[in-house]
Amino acid sequence: MRVSLFVTCLVDQLFPRVGEAMAATLRRLGCEVTFNEAQTCCGQPAFNTGYRAQARAMAEHFVRVFERERADFIVAPSGSCAAMVRNFYGELFHAPGDEEWRVRLESVRTRVREFSEFLVRELGVEDVGARFEGRVTYHDACHLLRELGVADEPRRLIRAVRGVEFVEMEAPDTCCGFGGTFSVKYAEISNSILQEKLARITRSGAGTVVANDSSCLMQIAGGLSRAGSPVKTMHLTELLASR
Amino acid sequence: MNHAEQDLAGRSHAALEDAVLQTALKSATDTFISRRREAVAGVPEWQALRARARRVKEHTINNLDYYLEQLAEKVREHGGHVYWATTGEDVGHYCIELARARGVTSVVKSKSMATEEIELNHALEAAGVRPIETDLGEYIIQLAREKPSHIIVPAIHKTREQIAELFAEKLKCGLAREVAEITAVARERLRGEFLSAGMGITGANFAVAETGTIVLVENEGNIRLSTQVPRIHVAVVGIEKVVPRFEDLSVFLRLLPRSGTGQKQTAYVSFLNGPRRRTRGVEADVASRSSEQGQASESEFEFHLVLMDNGRTRILADERMRESLYCIRCGACLNVCPVYQKIGGQAYGWIYPGPIGAVVSPLLQGLKQAGELPFASSLCGACRDACPVDINLPDLLLALRAKVKEAGADVGVARNFAERTAMRGYAAAVKRPKLFAAAGRLVRGLARLVSKDGKVRSAGVPALGEWTKYRDLPAPRGGSFRERWKKKR
């Protein structure tokens, strides 16, 4: 199976280990992994903030880069970025004159997968042979859950990790308050939502909170660190790469 | 109609600082969420019902002119009057003229978002007609001279203690300790109002085109009294409330109470066909006593249907936004919204709060006035899942954000110019991978420069400063993924 990494701009710039962990696990599972250096950002920040023209330009770049990839799948460590391409790009190429673009988009769109979705649904793998000692809880990233319908897959992957004691927090499917530019436009509201999430994480008794999206994790980790909490955050790719 | 000077961030700050409000909001929204969950769990075909409701609404809204004409005709056949109101002022004039012509000095009102939307009470008061809200929550809000903070629970932001104090002050009664005591005070005061009012004004949950039936759901019985005791009943109904067939109610009356209050059925559901008719027994006695003129003969009962546009046809004309007219005003999207849960309804600044409010307020009031609202969402999508008619609220919010930016109407949102420039620059870099990599390297380098103890210190830096005001940001270490990938190979 040939996999082209869609590492996402956030992972590329701030959390490179998340991308490396994803590549390592995919390789261990026998995938041929490539990384196209021409990739940058899917355009979600512009799209979600209302800048459609800019988002369209970024989407065109994304399609140009990945349509040339001969990979079977394009895999991202983020439900949000994968959902941007799969569910929202259509909105950017809906004009009557965009027929050709829609065809090009389709060749990319149908191959995009989020990491946990790819492992469980495409590779049929739940136990990747990882080991991690500790009590772990899972935060459902909103777009992964509601746009891609992925809830069970990450939990199965986590439960299969040796040494992990999995606990659910209350309402794991409520937002962490990140929301892209919302987190800085309405920072105080964003933080108040985050505090609810942190309280639930703390009450779960977990030492580590896992999610499949670096943006949620940045928000949660930022709050935990500010509160001086001993709870750690970990991307699912990193948990599955633990030995 | 915007009832605060500050912008949304300012109003939210006040709400977030209000510990009593936070407690009230949390307990209320938690309760509604769990009640709704239980009620929905009892309906295995819930998703099919939602899909059917959406199809009915879609069909109706796409053929709105046809169904409205049918509704009007049927209401007239029942002996009712029909008035087409283009604006909120039109509704006010109609009600005031009617009150004057019939010598009505006081009006009992049931809870109605449509009349809140147009601030009908202000118009009535200014014309010397006294409106009395008879829904307990609305009665509280009217006494406090506030705005409702929720579509179905107007006083959701108030605690029992606050309400008891309000009653003691405004109604000069003793300080009530229990909910039952508060209710008893309201009931006693309102009973007299029902009996002396010459007119009842209600909204409608549904208006059935094929039968000309106005449908009203409630739990307190005040709608029964408002529509059946005064001589004249006026229903102010947004034009989107029409449904084609009586049979369609079997879908909507299952969805609405479960989504709104988590009930299988509300305590009362009224189906009204035109003016009330003199019936046998007790009801007739109540009616004759109630009449301001003393005895009311059957011909004196009147029903007026006011079909209100007030911006709705503008939404109808916008195919992208038309879906927002499917809303049946259940309030479920408010309860599940993480933003609403924290800031409550009044911070939104307009009569419709929460996700649906963030969509319809800018459409009804104008982008320049309420264009800030669509941005005050984390786009988590919980609202869409909760919506009984499956309105894709996150999509509508996104489309509105684009509209606001295109119209240059993002006045309430700070840093408009800087953000626009930043987005343009970012888009330019995204298309040039080498520039993107170099810019990333530069920004990470700068972040490291202002870091201390592994954390970025960015107070005063636009956007980044807002982040670090509440959350830590780890100083970037090592290179980017692309740099490290290259090195390893």
Q: Do B398 and A47 touch (CB under 8 A)?
A: yes
**Which tens digit of pLDDT belongs to each residue from B255-268?**
999 999 999 999 99
Separation of alpha carbons B255 and B45, rounded Å = 11
Whole domain around residue B113: which residue ranges? 43-310
Between β-strands B130-133 and B81-85, what pairing exists: parallel, antiparallel or unpaired? unpaired
pLDDT higher than 60, residue B66: yes
Q: Is residue B411 part of a domain?
A: no
Total number of domains constituting chain B: 2
- pLDDT value at residue B415: 55
Average pLDDT, chain B: 92
- pLDDT value at residue B462: 80
Q: Domain end: B295, B310, B325, which one?
A: B310
Residues 29-68 of A with CB under 8 A from B: 35, 37-41, 43, 45-52, 54-55, 57-58, 60-61
Q: Is residue B376 part of a domain?
A: no
Token couple for B416: 């408009």
pLDDT higher than 70, residue A22: yes
pLDDT higher than 70, residue B240: yes
**Which tens digit of pLDDT belongs to each residue from A54-108?**
999 999 999 999 999 999 999 999 999 999 999 999 999 999 999 999 999 999 9
- pLDDT value at residue B206: 98
Q: What is the mean pLDDT of residues A180-207?
A: 97
- Torsion angle, alpha carbons of A116, A122, A123, A127, to 10: 40
- pLDDT value at residue B477: 87
Average pLDDT, chain A: 97
Q: Domain end: B294, B310, B326, which one?
A: B310
Minimal CA separation from B399 to chain A, in Å: 7
pLDDT higher than 50, residue B243: yes
Say if CB B123 and CB B99 are below 8 A apart: no
Token couple for B147: 């705005």
Report chain A residues whose CB lies below 8 A from the CB of B471: 191, 194, 219, 222-223, 225-226
pLDDT higher than 60, residue B281: no
**Which tens digit of pLDDT belongs to each residue from A150-188?**
999 999 999 999 999 999 999 999 999 999 999 999 999
Report chain B residues whose CB lies below 8 A from the CB of A141: none
Whether B422 and B304 map to the same domain: the answer is: no
Q: Domain end: B290, B310, B330, which one?
A: B310
Separation of alpha carbons B334 and B148, rounded Å = 13
**Which tens digit of pLDDT belongs to each residue from B429-472?**
999 999 999 999 999 999 999 899 999 998 788 888 999 999 99
- pLDDT value at residue B293: 45
Residue A227: CB atoms within 10 A of its CB come to 14
Whether B56 and B205 map to the same domain: the answer is: yes
Report chain A residues whose CB lies below 8 A from the CB of B426: 41, 45-46, 54
Q: Is residue B452 part of a domain?
A: yes
pLDDT higher than 50, residue B344: yes
- pLDDT value at residue B295: 44
Least-confidence region, from A37-51, B49-63, B406-420: B406-420
ipTM greater than cut 0.90:
yes
Say if CB B407 and CB B367 are below 8 A apart: yes
Give A225's pLDDT tier (boundaries 50, 70, 90): very high
Give B18's pLDDT tier (boundaries 50, 70, 90): very high
Q: What are phi and psi of B38, to 5 degrees?
A: -65, -45
- pLDDT value at residue B106: 98
Token couple for B87: 């604006």
Q: Is residue B425 part of a domain?
A: yes
Report chain B residues whose CB lies below 8 A from the CB of A10: none
- pLDDT value at residue B277: 84
Placement of tokens 């209401």 in the chain: B75
Q: Do B342 and A174 touch (CB under 8 A)?
A: no
Q: Is residue B18 part of a domain?
A: no
pLDDT higher than 90, residue B291: no
Whether B302 and B434 map to the same domain: the answer is: no
Separation of alpha carbons B400 and B358, rounded Å = 9
- pLDDT value at residue A43: 97
Report chain A residues whose CB lies below 8 A from the CB of B481: 7, 11-13, 16, 19-20, 35
Say if CB B259 and CB B344 are below 8 A apart: no
Q: What are phi and psi of B282, to 5 degrees?
A: -60, -45
- Closest Cα partner for A18 from A8, A31, A27? A8
Which contiguous run of DSSP H or E holds residue A158?
Answer: helix A152-159
Separation of alpha carbons B210 and B61, rounded Å = 15
Taking the Cβ of residue A104 and every Cβ of chain B, the question of whether any pair is shorter than 8 Å is answered with no
Cα A196–A201–A204 angle (5° rounding)? 125
Report chain A residues whose CB lies below 8 A from the CB of B423: 45-46, 49, 51, 54
Whether B292 and B423 map to the same domain: the answer is: no
Cα B368–B370–B371 angle (5° rounding)? 65
- pLDDT value at residue B428: 94
Residue B47: CB atoms within 10 A of its CB come to 11
Residue B157, beta-bridge partner list: none
pLDDT higher than 80, residue B132: yes
Residue of B nearest to A36 (CA): B482
Cα A217–B390–B1 angle (5° rounding)? 85
Whether B226 and B110 map to the same domain: the answer is: yes
Whether B113 and B240 map to the same domain: the answer is: yes
Q: Is residue B4 part of a domain?
A: no
Please give the C-alpha separations between residue A11 and each of A43, B52, B457, in angstroms, as whole numbers: 14, 42, 21
Whether B161 and B291 map to the same domain: the answer is: yes
Q: Is residue B240 part of a domain?
A: yes
Separation of alpha carbons B259 and B276, rounded Å = 30
Q: Output DSSP code: residue A181.
A: T
Q: Is residue B252 part of a domain?
A: yes
CATH number of the domain that residue B70 is part of = 3.40.50.10420
CA gyration radius for chain B? 26
Residue of B nearest to A219 (CA): B471
- pLDDT value at residue B292: 45
Q: What domains appear along chain A, each with residue ranges and CATH number?
A: 2-121 (no CATH), 127-240 (3.40.50.11810)
More reliable by pLDDT, A233 or B289? A233
- pLDDT value at residue B297: 55
- pLDDT value at residue B1: 44
